[in-house]
Structure 1
Amino acid sequence: MKRAELKEFLDFKVEQYNTPDFISSDPVQIPHQFTRKEDIEISGFLTATISWGNRKSILKNANSMMQLLGNSPYDFVLNHSETELESLSSFVHRTFNGTDLTYFIRSLRNIYQQHNGLEGIFTDHSDETGLQPAIHQFKKIFFELPHEVRTEKHVSDPLKNSAAKRINMFLRWMVRNDNGNVDFGIWKDISSSQLSCPLDVHSGNVARKLGLLKRKQNDAKALTELDTSLRKLDPNDPVKYDYALFGLGVFEKY
């Protein structure tokens, strides 16, 4: 398939899947429950963190997490008591448990009190090459408080060759403005051109079949290759093609 034909095909698939109907079956439905910017950010970050495995389980546990936070995540992060933190100990999603969630809440409070919030960190550390260096810096800041080593595995580091699928998905939610269809576009000082595709088994397999990706592993090197291909199709909004790749893989078994 020639590039022009491929672009036409993928643009059509983006229009097919980048619609409000996408929300009902996707983890992005969790931050869509909120209207306050900080609630959207925090619920989105926590939901993206546990977005691996069975989708029904992800949605069930993400909703349970929001209930534990009183369905007001920003207020909980800033104003929780130690007793309220203890109530998180029962949470579990696969290998992410109450110990991890408790640290995440402590760290998020530190980020909003000392680092100008989630948006501030990524804005301050983004550059023209993209947001992967910013993700690396974010992880360093996120774990600057005392913590158990086990919790570190729940925030990926692209500079250690991770594709960082979940955090790239979170960044797509926050940065990309699709006029309210799915993504929020509430972070105004980062460009959609800097975003990277949330590379997973589905998007990776479809990208290989379409000739957008040759590397077999879904790692940081593969992400760089895929980003390069997608930016040739649309340099201003390359990550929109995540909808096409994901939809073709998950819904159409392409």
Structure 2
Amino acid sequence: MPRSAPLKTRLDDLCSRYDTAGALDLDPLSVALAYPDPLDREVAAFVAAHLAYGRVAPMLRAVRAALAPLGPRPAAWLRKTREGDARQSLHRNLEDWTWRFHTGRDVVAWLLAWKRLDQESGSGLESHLLPGPGEDGDAALSRLVQRLRRELPATYGLRFSLPDPLEGAACKRWRMFLRWMARSGWPDLGLWTRYPQDQLVIPLDTHVARVSRFIGLSARATPDGRMAREITEALRRLDPVDPLRYDFALSHLGILGDCPGVRRKTTCAACPLYAICRAR
């Protein structure tokens, strides 16, 4: 690739390298994709997205273990089981479960929150995250986050899962859940048809933040909500219809250890971003 190739061409090439089933094996979305039913995928995605931090392999084991007590049809199990019985059963099965900041108690509360929200809507979580008249996606997300802060136990793990975009948070795990559910392109689920895709903001993790600074998508030092929006707008200029299609490749360049963070020809020359990378 010539050094003068535009950024879009380089990012498209990066996507062609990472948009593969092999890369997806090390992504929490793979947990949701293992379920054939759309509503089961939503439940699995709701859990997987909010536990998606830390080392990938043990995180994936923790997510699968958190969902195991619900059997092969988690949404059906939650819908048919009375809340008191569900709480008792889940507490018993997840009593010893932990993943870093989260405990089994947190997972039980999270699953029962989905059950209550689904009972209200009759169709999962989409309607709870739809912007109202004159609102944007952040207003709707903030409203749900504030509600869950009031209703769920004030444990460290649950507060970690409830950042508010209107307070400046990047909301990486919520953004990832929304991308999975509302975006229709590979590898996402595209299960929600009413959520406005133009309201999606990139799920900003350390890998996306670092690579974005290296290639000039953002000059901000702090990975916060403003940085996430700045990167999203930069990508929107490259692909106005589907800017988040670059997210998977940008994040997996770091997740898979292919970006060392130091620009050296011996290790980086094969990367499509090498010629424009500002890492030193």
Does the alignment reach a TM-score above 0.5?
A: yes
Matched residues in 2 for 1:243 and 1:94: separation?
24
Deviations 1:157-214 (A, max 9, x none): 1112111111111111111112xx4211111112433211111111101000100011
Flag the 1:4–1:225 CA change in 2: closer, same or farther, 3 A: farther
Instruction: Please report how far the alpha carbon of residue 63 of structure 1 lies from its aligned counterpart in structure 2 after TM superposition.
Output: 1.0
Deviations 1:27-69 (A, max 9, x none): 1110011111111011001011110001011111011112122
Flag the 1:71–1:78 CA change in 2: closer, same or farther, 3 A: same
Matched, 1:17 2:18: yes
Q: 1:196 aligns with which of 196, 201, 206?
A: 201
Matched residues in 2 for 1:26 and 1:208: separation?
23
Counterpart residue identity of residue 121, structure 1 = H
Matched residues in 2 for 1:228 and 1:37: separation?
30
Identity among equivalent positions (%) equals 28
1:153-192 equivalences in 2 (<5 Å): 153-178=160-185, 181-192=186-197
**Greater gyration radius:** 2
- Identify the residue that residue 34 of structure 1 maps to in structure 2: 35
Matched residues in 1 for 2:230 and 2:3: separation?
18
Is the Cα–Cα contact under 8 Å of residues 208 and 214 in structure 1 kept in the other structure?
yes
Instruction: Please report how far the alpha carbon of residue 124 of structure 1 lies from its aligned counterpart in structure 2 after TM superposition.
Output: 4.5
Mark the runs of 5 or more structure 2 residues left unpaired by the alignment. Answer: 261-280
Aligned-CA RMSD value = 2.3
Counterpart residue identity of residue 79, structure 2 = L
| Structure number with higher helix proportion | 1
TM-score scaled by length of structure 1: 0.90
Is the Cα–Cα contact under 8 Å of residues 207 and 251 in structure 2 kept in the other structure?
yes
Q: 2:247 aligns with which of 238, 242, 254?
A: 242
Counterpart residue identity of residue 134, structure 1 = A
- Identify the residue that residue 99 of structure 1 maps to in structure 2: 105
Is the Cα–Cα contact under 8 Å of residues 31 and 44 in structure 1 kept in the other structure?
yes
Mark the runs of 5 or more structure 1 residues left unpaired by the alignment. Answer: none
Which moved further from structure 2: 228-237 or 190-199? 190-199
Is the Cα–Cα contact under 8 Å of residues 126 and 134 in structure 1 kept in the other structure?
no
- Identify the residue that residue 62 of structure 1 maps to in structure 2: 63
- Identify the residue that residue 223 of structure 1 maps to in structure 2: 228
